[in-house]
Amino acid sequence: MDLIQMYDTTLRDGTQAEDIAFLVTDKIRIAEKLDELGIHYIEGGWPGSNPKDIAFFKEIKNIPLKQAKIAAFGATRRAKTTPDKDHNLRTLIQAEPDAVTIFGKTWDFHVREALRIGLEENLELIFDSLKFLKENVGEVIYDAEHFFDGYRANPEYALKTLQAAEEAGADCLVLCDTNGGTLPHQMAPVIQRVREVVSTPLGIHTHNDSGCAVANAIVAVENGIVHVQGTINGFGERCGNANLCSIIPSLQLKMGKHCIADEQLAKLREISNYIYEIANLIPDKHQPYVGTSAFAHKGGVHVSAIQRHPETYEHIRPDRVGNSTRVLISDLSGRSNILAKAREFNIDLDSKDPVTVEILDNLKKLENYGYQFEGAEATFEILMRKALGTLRNFFTIMGFRVIDAKPSGEDPPLAEATIKVKVGGNIEHTAAEGNGPVNALDNALRKALERFYPQLKEMRLIDFKVRVLPAGKGTASVTRVLIESGDKDARWGTVGVSDNIIEASYQALVDAIQYKLLKDYQRPKHEDSNE
């Protein structure tokens, strides 16, 4: 396999995305994960631009990385300043990285309008800066900013900037589609022309403003590029950078280009989600390769086919990237979906069993009313076990009352719930306050049951979503409540639907607790995993 160098700029270019900001400790943790993934270069930041990045380069020296090189990012020297006196270049050297990446202007429009200098002087900036860095740092990478725009405007000058960088001793020349406006069919002829005039190894850096960042990077590799820059999950300014979570498996599994080890590739989904978590962002479930929905099947025909041969509706084996096949349950489901979920839940169910048809009919009626089981598979398992008569009756709710009062216009609302629960021959009647009526009801229910099931203390409510279904009834519309719960071993989703939001919340809360107890007492221990 041909080796393609992976250069990650999540810690620099990725942080320019809206809603993303990393602390120094965050950047260190991400760098460790990127090294674990097998990334060859980790661009830590621009030490000449802010104290946080200076601190990162200082701290990362104390972290033993297995293979990744740490790169520092900066710009060519300022006009009318020699390289040895340029603060930016000196700061790059003082950071003591394994490699330095600097960008220079290749678009004559930018040279005249942004730098406001002559075209020849810009060539001197590029040459002087790279020559100086090469004398002080082991490896120097040159990012040719706006290269494709510059080539379209003035191909002769854009190529001269690359030749200046090559003459100065740059180890890699990276062609940047900085504005993200280049289309895949425009890449090949430009790269082929570049290879005619320079012999230094070439890299690619693409942005996603036209939705083509990944495709452009793949086309570039197809045309001889050996160094690919991008970010995990495509984080980046405006529409983002090329997504390494798509590029790496595409190159390795489909094009025979070696990027990382197979065992490292199997960690791709885990590391993608880890970095979403550090960024405090919800993972994109529809993201190729690593998204939760990437190998999710909903239509009955699809499910029936993948049960025989997964390749019928899956372009790769999901475990190659650390993902897994999922069967979704909805009103589009057929018997194949029901049987697949039964196997997943370790429920013995036969396609000819009348209960299978009953479950399917009930499912479609519930979804027509407003239920959604794609994010609430715990509720669906409870539904299946009830239909089969195999669900243990852990407790019975005899009744509840919720009061939400606001004593005066100045005071915050007060919520209190009382509930009566029967467990075996015992009746527990309790009350609890909460931050709102649903929280009060949750607190009262747990309080009533914890004496009998102490493990409920470790259960937590992770997420609570309310959606008013479009029934055209205004405040009398049907409400769907989705709750995500979890403990130290797993996470699960439950759903409730009613024209009363408290009732819908109550249904989802009861199912969440039922599932926790079902998981602890009825399901085999090896099944306790993320739902």
pLDDT digits (tens, 9 = 90+) for 198-219: 999 999 999 999 999 999 999 9
By the 8 A CB rule, do 88 and 62 touch?
no
Instruction: List the one residue out of 62, 64, 69, 55 whose CA is nearest residue 24.
Output: 55
Count the neighbouring beta carbons within 10 Å of the beta carbon of residue 102: 25
pLDDT value, residue 248: 98
Instruction: List the one residue out of 381, 519, 501, 521 whose CA is nearest residue 441.
Output: 501
By the 8 A CB rule, do 501 and 524 touch?
no
pLDDT value, residue 334: 58
pLDDT value, residue 525: 52
pLDDT value, residue 336: 61
Structure confidence by residue, pLDDT tens digits, 393-421: 999 999 999 998 887 777 788 899 999 99
Instruction: List the one residue out of 23, 13, 9 whose CA is nearest residue 280.
Output: 23
pLDDT value, residue 435: 87
DSSP 165-207: HHHTT-SEEEEEETT----HHHHHHHHHHHHHH--S-EEEEEB
Estimate the crossing angle of helix 300-308 against helix 335-344, to 10 degrees. Answer: 60
Strand-pairing partners, residue 142, are: 102, 173
Count the neighbouring beta carbons within 10 Å of the beta carbon of residue 473: 11
pLDDT value, residue 364: 73
Q: Structure pTM?
A: 0.72
Which ranges of the chain have pLDDT less than 50?
331, 526-531
pLDDT value, residue 282: 81
pLDDT value, residue 527: 44
Strand-pairing partners, residue 227, are: 5, 203
CA distances to 121, 286, 400 from 276, rounded to whole Å, are 43, 14, 39
